[in-house]
A and B are shown apart, each in its own frame.
Chain A
Amino acid sequence: MMDQRAEQAQEPVVRKQSVGRAFWPSMPGQLLRRFGPLLGLVLLCLVFSSLSSFFLTFDNLINVFRQSAVNALLALGQLLVIITAGIDLSVGSVLGLSCVLAAMMVKAGAPSGLTIVAAIAIGAALGMVNGLLLTRLRLPHPFIPTLGMMNVARGLALVISGGYPISELPDDFRFLGAGTIFYIPAPVVLVLVVYTLFHIFLTRTTLGRDIYAIGGNQQAALMSGIPVARRLTTVYALSGGLAALGAVVLAGRMNSGFPLAGMGAELDAIAAVIIGGASFFGGVGSVWGTLIGALIMGVLRNGLNLLNVSAYWQTVVIGTVIVVAVWIDVWRQRAMKSRMLISK
């Protein structure tokens, strides 16, 4: 007698999560999600290497990776947020503010190591404010607190620096952005280390699994006893901290802490996450996918630079890639859904 009610209940949107997965996916759709971005990256490299003889050189590939490092760090934080079905618009501005504060600190004579730790702490604190605004003040959507923070942090960066870049930073502070370790640029090594740590965090710890659960179904996560508010606050704090780490890398690379650093960077980070196969609806996304997403954007810009394509056309291309990546994802989901209906 209850079937009637079950029938009337709206069938919720069905998405396959990438959590607790078997290594080799059984359905072609999953295959595409897992390897689609990688395939895209390889194809892109093939195309560019045939168009420019400079593309496939060790120096250039390292170059691409280094140029992608800051975006990769921001995207990693953004990934955590997007897995919880949220969005963090403030990462670019948090980067700007941390960049200025770190540069000022180190110029004032603070030891470089301490400055870097302090910068990350500041970024994490700003992110935590985002999380607290979202969970304690119950602002309706992460869009709101992070949009607020985006403006506040940028404004503070301009006010504190007076609009002037703070340049000529000490070499040891610049190491993470401009140094090398056995011919490999330090930012590349840093990104690989941080990504590995977050891969472990997301797939091998209870916290990571809670984050996927919150994105997959926040209500169910709450009802299963997961402290959703605390987890969300943690996620936004991590996003802020990673943005600050990006700031340290950028300041090192540019030898300057400038208040307009990271302007619009949040959108690049979101794009990398989406190209990397994460879903805006939450619960889906992987660390390596995001790295590939960031590299795809880096390769696109680098390859088009080598071909002397104007920056404006580059934006057109990247915009197209974002839409195509999401379209492939939607198409894949639809294919999976129809498959499931047939098997029923």
Chain B
Amino acid sequence: MKGLIIRWGVVTLAVVWLLLATGCSSGTEPGRKKHIVVVTKALDSEFWLTLKKGAEEAAAAHPEVELSVLAPEREINIDQQVSILEDQVLKKVSAIAVAPAGAAEVVPVLSKARRSGIPVLLVDTDAPWPDKLTYIGTDNQLGGRLAGEFLVKLLNGKGKVAVIRGISGVIAHADRVAGFQEAISDAPGMQLLAIQPADSERAKAMSVMENLLTTYPDLDAVFATSDQMALGAMEAIAARKLTGKVKLIGFDAGQEAVRAVKAGQMDAVVAQHPAQMGKLAVESAIKVLSGQKIEKRIDTGTTLVTKENADEYLK
């Protein structure tokens, strides 16, 4: 059994080495710079990239700050976001601004961050967590209301509408729908026919829209709770040659959507201000780190982009 001895010898040596190295290296953090980490839900869309850019611009004005923007591969990889947060907590970074991919799922790790003394700010998506320093983001309900009121005006207070919404369970989408419903129910002539999910996917939204047009041939307008879904719905409407007849409103105001508004293929899009979110996240974090107080709720504002003001939003 010579082999056995050698084998375990190798394993033991490795373990000893690891333990020694552990003892030597723990707690040697070079802490001159303030390290702020922004964790988004993903970095695969214009929205998140704009937010990242806003954060980077803000950080550039503060040389004492080192900024990292991290994200899981896709928005649905909640557990990956949790892992990223755990690793940052372990590094004892100075502050974390996070857009929770799952409101409930990230709370345990955020509490852990809080316990190890790291200030946590929420960006873009709110979470039911009392220890957050602030929530910086769009008032989604207000945005939804904005879209609803515009539609009521557009249809002169009378018409049949439908909603295409994002993944069930995401608060932002729920808020947008709620705001929209408020505005619609304020106008007695308006009728909400259906609310259907399309998981924020363009292709899914297209087939959902096709089905809506088939089921409700007298549909007057549609509100999609994200740009990608609005663009998918737009294709379906165009395919039936109903562009302009069926009104369409999106949410986010990415470049593609704004161009569609300008071209008259979409009637309006609710603009969020991701760059503002990124900027305010970094600036608020810096304030917290220098001992200043910040608001519990920081609104980054919503505006309605229509054909008239579309040019201002085009880059």
Contacts and interface: CB of A to CB of B under 8 A. Distances in A.
B104 to A, nearest CB: 3
A24 B6 contact: yes
A58 B18 CA distance: 9
A78 interface: no
B167 A163 contact: yes
Interface string B11-44: 0001000100110011011000000000000010
A254 B78 contact: yes
Nearest 6 pairs of A and B residues by beta carbon: A24-B3, A163-B168, A167-B104, A164-B169, A254-B105, A305-B87
Given A255-B108, A305-B70, A24 B2 contact: yes
B7 interface: yes
Contact of B70 (A163, A256, A264, A308): A308
Contact of B90 (A22, A59, A301, A312): A59
A49 interface: yes
B72 A23 contact: no
A63 B82 contact: no
B68 interface: yes
A333 to B, nearest CB: 22
A161 B102 CA distance: 15
B82 A254 contact: yes
B90 A253 contact: no
Nearest to A304: B87
B interface residue count range (under 10 / 10 to 19 / 20 to 34 / 35 or more): 35 or more
Interface of A: 22-24, 35, 42, 45, 49, 53-61, 63, 67, 70, 161-165, 167-168, 178, 250, 253-256, 258, 260-261, 263-264, 301-302, 305-306, 308, 310-312, 314-315
A258 B90 contact: no
Given A54-B91, A165-B102, A308-B70, A253 B108 contact: yes
Contacts of A312: 43, 73
Contacts of B104: 165, 167-168, 254-256
B90 A60 contact: yes
A309 to B, nearest CB: 9
Nearest to A166: B104
Contacts, number: 122
Contact of B87 (A63, A163, A258): A63
B314 interface: no
19 contacts: A22-B3, A42-B14, A53-B29, A56-B22, A56-B25, A60-B87, A63-B90, A165-B102, A167-B104, A253-B108, A254-B102, A254-B105, A255-B104, A256-B104, A258-B78, A261-B79, A305-B70, A306-B91, A311-B72
Contacts of B194: none
Contacts of B1: 23
Contacts of A302: 83, 87
A263 B105 contact: no
A65 B68 CA distance: 24
Most buried by A among B26, B105, B168: B105
A16 to B, nearest CB: 17
B83 A256 contact: no
Contacts of A306: 87, 90-91
A167 B83 CA distance: 18
Nearest to B72: A311
A45 B168 CA distance: 41
Contacts of B82: 253-254
Contacts of A56: 18, 21-22, 25-26
B86 A311 contact: no
A136 to B, nearest CB: 34
Contacts of A164: 168-169
Contacts of B72: 311
Contacts of A67: 83, 86
B139 to A, nearest CB: 22
Given A61-B18, A167-B105, 19 more contacts: A42-B14, A53-B25, A56-B26, A161-B169, A163-B168, A163-B197, A167-B104, A253-B108, A255-B105, A256-B104, A260-B76, A260-B78, A263-B74, A263-B76, A263-B77, A301-B80, A305-B83, A311-B43, A311-B84
Contact of A70 (B26, B79, B168): B79
A315 B72 CA distance: 10
A25 to B, nearest CB: 8
B47 to A, nearest CB: 16
A310 B70 CA distance: 6
Nearest to B20: A56
Given A162-B168, A312-B73, A24 B84 contact: no
Nearest to B165: A163
Most buried by B among A58, A263, A311: A311
